[in-house]
Amino acid sequence: MRILICEDSALLRAGLVRLLEDAGHEVVAALPDAGGLEDRVAETAPDLCILDVRLPPTFTDEGIRAALALRASDPALPVLVLSQYVEERYASDLITASATGRAALGYLLKDRVADVAEFLDAVGRIGAGATVLDPEVVAQLLTRRALDERMSRLTERERTVLALIAEGKSNQAIAATLFISEAAVEKHITSLFAKLGLEQDEHGNRRVLAALVHWEHGSGASPTAAPTTPQNGTNR
């Protein structure tokens, strides 16, 4: 896979290049800031862009704005955003902007890079079209936002299944996590999307993103019990 990196830390940038190249990927560019990013993307045609949320010169939201600009110019371009800690507003902005498209999306904490196998697995799945959200991001989006009336229809088990879906877990992985059958997982998924008013289709990423947008921008919200979200950090 052809990958472009935009990361201001020279040490982390070099580490990512080495890690990805050792895994058989081609790093087409490794940039220290977002200056000229769109031109480099046009020149190198990467299959995936990895960006830090905070980049020079202000180290505030340059990275997320660059990611949003890339998605605006090429909605099909997979993007993986790395953050030192959960930037809830930035994650919400990216998720909201991506909700109408079908491109892959990733938002991971930098700590995940230390688990090489897990990080490379996430990179591979995002490049292949999956949505991978850090469990900490999912937890905050679930617990710090008022849930709308549709979310209040869900059972505790359905909210747990929804959180696991948003983390990018497969039905098989959800079944293993909850110690239930895959048939039971499919039943929960069918029920929860029906309750949320989300049409069943083949685009799992679109359904996950749509659910997250509902949580972020729901109206007439009524508080519900905070869902239990597994915090094992695995996305399989």
The arithmetic mean of pLDDT across residues 7-31, rounded, is 96
Q: What is the pLDDT of residues 69-94, one digit of tens each?
A: 898 888 889 999 998 877 777 777 77
pLDDT at 203 over 50: no
Q: What is the pLDDT of residues 140-194, one digit of tens each?
A: 766 555 455 667 788 999 888 888 877 778 899 999 999 999 999 999 988 887 7
The arithmetic mean of pLDDT across residues 31-47, rounded, is 94
Place of tokens 């239990």: 228
Q: Give me the residue spans of the domains in the chain.
A: 2-133, 141-217
Record the pTM. 0.64
Mean pLDDT is lowest, of 22-36, 113-127, 134-148, for 134-148
Asked if 52 and 66 count as a contact pair (C-beta separation under 8 A), the reply is no
DSSP 49-78: EEEESS-TTTSSSHHHHHHHHHHHH-TT--
Rg (CA), the chain: 18
Q: Determine the Cα–Cα distance for residues 79 and 98; give it in Å rounded to an integer.
A: 10
For the chain, what is the mean pLDDT?
Answer: 79
For a pLDDT cut of 70, what percent of the chain falls above it? 75
pLDDT at 9 over 90: yes
- The superfamily (CATH) of domain 2-133 is Response regulator (3.40.50.2300)
Query: Rounded to the nearest 5 degrees, what angle is found at the Cα of 18, between the Cα atoms of 70 and 63?
Result: 25
pLDDT at 41 over 60: yes
What is the model's pLDDT at position 12?
94
Instruction: Count CA atoms within 13 Å of residue 102 on its CB side.
Output: 5
More confident residue, 226 or 61: 61
The arithmetic mean of pLDDT across residues 190-217, rounded, is 61
Mean pLDDT is lowest, of 64-68, 147-151, 160-164, 200-204, for 200-204
Asked if 107 and 91 count as a contact pair (C-beta separation under 8 A), the reply is yes
How many CB atoms lie under 10 A from the CB of residue 236? Answer: 15
pLDDT at 27 over 90: yes
141-217, CATH topology level: Arc Repressor Mutant, subunit A (1.10.10)
Q: Determine the Cα–Cα distance for residues 95 and 93; give it in Å rounded to an integer.
A: 6
The arithmetic mean of pLDDT across residues 102-106, rounded, is 76
